[in-house]
A and B are shown apart, each in its own frame.
Chain A
Amino acid sequence: MPCKILEKERLIPGQTSKLVIDAPHIAKKALPGNFVILRVCEKGERIPLTIADADPERGTITIVYLVMGKSTALLETLDAGDSILDLCGPLGKATHIEKAGTVICVGGGTGIAAMHHIAKGHHKAGNHVVAVIGARSKDLLLFYDELSSFCPEVLVSTDDGSFGHKGLVTDLLRQRLETDKTVSEVVAVGPVPMMAAVAKTTEPFGVKTTVSLNSIMVDGIGMCGACRVSVGGETRFACVDGPEFDGHKVDFNELRQRLAAFKPQEKASYDHHCKCTCAGEK
């Protein structure tokens, strides 16, 4: 059934937005690490998006998306008061959270929003959460204030040095691991190259590393295996077995190749959409 958008915030205009959606049935069950599958309109495709926050009392969930193709472009045309045609969730296994000491949560790009929900869960469980977030420049940084509200430390890196450390999140992560032996787990959510780099950084330190994989999905309920990934040499379905896996065991190269499977069609669909929208405006 359609779910109404209550609030929309354009975090980075034309690029990234945050939606607060009225979905009490999902909010009641949503845990850190869960995602939803949504379909914007009748001819739309099903796309997965991580739940960035959930408020069971208010009956809302929050999602954050990057406009990168047809479906997210369609989503970007919706405003507060509009509805999303199909919204299904919460899906996937919830993050494994226990009181373990210091947990470093690394987020990159839109992944920071997804990481935010996981960091919050670790904070509520009594862990000392260090957030490490990165973006190309200061104005592209998400959720800094939200994370600062509960994380005792929020470390920032930007490619251009406009805020925090100039460089990559993995620089900050490595520095921390070299000096802090109390880190019990590193969690990373972001683009595949970033998650692969985080896993590579933590490996010599032998620190448990969890990554939230963003493979292509269709149904999101285990029916098809579109989202399959190789973990420790075994095939797993990200939608039911994950989306979180041991970062030291994931075949990131295979994931990267599988994510590119439909690139030509994705471009064709987006171009087709732009042409139709422009034609419609004339």
Chain B
Amino acid sequence: MNSDKKGRSLQPRVPMPCQPAHERVGNFDEVALGYSREDAMREASRCLQCKKPKCVKGCPVEVQIPQFIAALAKGDVESAYRTLRETNSLPAVCGRVCPQENQCEGACILGAKGQPVAIGRLERYAADTYMALDACDQLTGRPECPLIDPDLKVACIGSGPASLTVAGYLSSRGFKVTVYEALHELGGVLVYGIPEFRLPKSDIVEKEIAALRQQEVEFVTNWVGGRTFSIDDLFAEGYKAVFIGVGAGLPRFLDIPGENLVGVFSANEYLTRVNLGRAYGFPDYDTPVYRGREVTVFGGGNVAMDAARTALRLGAESVRIVYRRTRDEMPARLEELEHAEEEGVRLELLAAPLGFKGDADGRLTAVTLQRMELGEPDASGRRSPRPVEGAVYDLPTDLAVIAVGTRPNPILLEATPGLTLDRRGYIAVDEATGMTSIPGVYAGGDIVTGAATVILAMGAGRRAAKDIEARLRPAT
């Protein structure tokens, strides 16, 4: 076994079994298959159990990482899961979709000389295994179920990761939480955005929500904050605090000619049709989706990866991701980018869209691209792309998906006078508490930060929940 001067383990991390690329492009099943018990115990034993763990600081919701990994090393899944759930309402989700390389694993001390502990994979193993033990758990008694105080009413608007975290935190401390969701299904981006092959809906998201229902969290679907009800209505109904977790929502477009041609979709629309509408099951499911042959996706983040990989699974012959910088600058998780490339997604780097072309019926036929090159570093040291003069070319395309980010959804904001926004139009909050300009009204997640990650939204939810608890039930 290799070890460094201090005797630290330099053994590589235990690999995660995956569906082979040629098989998985033909289905919507999960790509990464998860650790076995032996894999998990072997990987857990690589953890050095640091006295001052840096990994915990790297986690936005401060999961007690060495503690849960120590339990796993002994094969004690139940106590590992309980440790996770103390601070994380959605461990099975986070273990799958967090960009761990920038968070807990990025801070792991083993990463300096070798590979960091696979914290995300272990979190996922513990959560999946515990949730599979449901029947057993019935016999051994439920995890501590607090007495819910029906007067301590808190409402969450939106049912994405931020609100689910607030609901989990407060309900486990005796608050009566109601979550209002505008769509017909719960989970926010977890159900309409992140595809099944990364995050299985019925196996993972529904189970996480079922766990919250067991804590007496109430869920109301088809209620739109700002339309079906206002925040004042909630206070009139006796809610003592309100958490706004409605996400960023509105898609950004490229603002170039031809963008409204038939066949040009926002990633939100494309993914919502496929994930929420289960359009991959059309015509058994009623929601239709375009099945492009030559697909072009714009953007370099995880959403672009999700859209490109979805298009392949819907039978596209070629899928390209157009990005105006180089592969190194792509903001997507490395694992997603690698998975996409393995599956056959091609990168069209250093290219920027100029316009879309269509036929007489207004259907997309091609996109015109401008070749870019990286210029000199600017004051911030970043090399910005600039056009290469005269290098303009067309790419045949019958389906274009635009994944260049989002902007704040105005519905609730316009209906809530007195809510202060920042200069970008997102909700302004007190950084320490998450409270907005309206007393008792909190906000967190993408509606505050702009499009970010699941775990950052959860961190914001946790912060707000702590303050709600402190205000509504001061320590006695």
Cβ–Cβ contact A26 & B228, under 8 A = yes
Cβ–Cβ contact B262 & A257, under 8 A = yes
- Asked whether A43 is an interface residue with its Cβ less than 8 Å from the other chain, the reply is yes
| B253, B288, B289, B363: residue with the most chain A Cβ atoms closer than 10 Å | B288
6 extra interface residue pairs, beta carbon distance < 8 Å, beyond A43-B281, A86-B221: A46-B287, A86-B222, A88-B222, A226-B269, A257-B262, A261-B290
User: Once bound together, how far apart are the Cα atoms of A181 and B70, in whole Å?
Assistant: 84
- Asked whether A70 is an interface residue with its Cβ less than 8 Å from the other chain, the reply is yes
Q: A45-B287, A254-B362 are in contact. Are A91 and B269 (CB under 8 A)?
A: no
Q: Which residues of B contact A254 (CB under 8 A)?
A: 260, 362
Cβ–Cβ contact A46 & B277, under 8 A = yes
* 3 nearest A-B residue pairs (beta carbon): A257-B362, A265-B288, A224-B269
Partner of B184, one of A46, A91, A253, A262: A46
User: Once bound together, how far apart are the Cα atoms of A219 and B269, in whole Å?
Assistant: 9
Partner of A223, one of B229, B268, B283, B289: B268
A39 to B, closest residue via Cβ: B184
B230 to A, closest residue via Cβ: A29
Taking chain A's interface residues, is the majority helix, strand, or loop, or is none over half, making it mixed? mixed
Taking chain B's interface residues, is the majority helix, strand, or loop, or is none over half, making it mixed? loop
Cβ–Cβ contact B283 & A88, under 8 A = no
Q: A228-B260, A235-B260 are in contact. Are A221 and B224 (CB under 8 A)?
A: yes
The stretch from A109-117, A130-138, A156-164, A266-274 touching chain B is A266-274
Cβ–Cβ contact A224 & B253, under 8 A = no
Cβ–Cβ contact A223 & B286, under 8 A = no
Cβ–Cβ contact A44 & B260, under 8 A = no
- Asked whether A218 is an interface residue with its Cβ less than 8 Å from the other chain, the reply is yes
Cβ–Cβ contact B222 & A269, under 8 A = no
Q: Which residues of A contact B220 (CB under 8 A)?
A: 1
Q: Which residues of A contact B282 (CB under 8 A)?
A: 265, 269
Chain A: number of interface residues, binned into ranges: 35 or more
A234 to B, closest residue via Cβ: B255
Q: A91-B224, A91-B227, A221-B411 are in contact. Are A43 and B268 (CB under 8 A)?
A: no
- Asked whether A71 is an interface residue with its Cβ less than 8 Å from the other chain, the reply is yes
Q: A43-B286, A235-B259, A257-B362 are in contact. Are A223 and B228 (CB under 8 A)?
A: no
- Asked whether B266 is an interface residue with its Cβ less than 8 Å from the other chain, the reply is yes
User: Once bound together, how far apart are the Cα atoms of A89 and B289, in whole Å?
Assistant: 24
Q: A39-B184, A219-B183, A268-B283 are in contact. Are A225 and B229 (CB under 8 A)?
A: no
Q: Which residues of A contact B269 (CB under 8 A)?
A: 218, 224-226
Cβ–Cβ contact B224 & A269, under 8 A = no
Partner of B285, one of A43, A224, A225, A237: A43
- Asked whether B389 is an interface residue with its Cβ less than 8 Å from the other chain, the reply is no
| B221, B251, B260: residue with the most chain A Cβ atoms closer than 10 Å | B260
Q: List 11 A-B contacts (CB under 8 A).
A: A29-B227, A43-B278, A45-B286, A46-B287, A221-B224, A222-B250, A223-B250, A223-B409, A225-B266, A240-B410, A269-B286
Partner of A269, one of B221, B265, B268, B288: B288
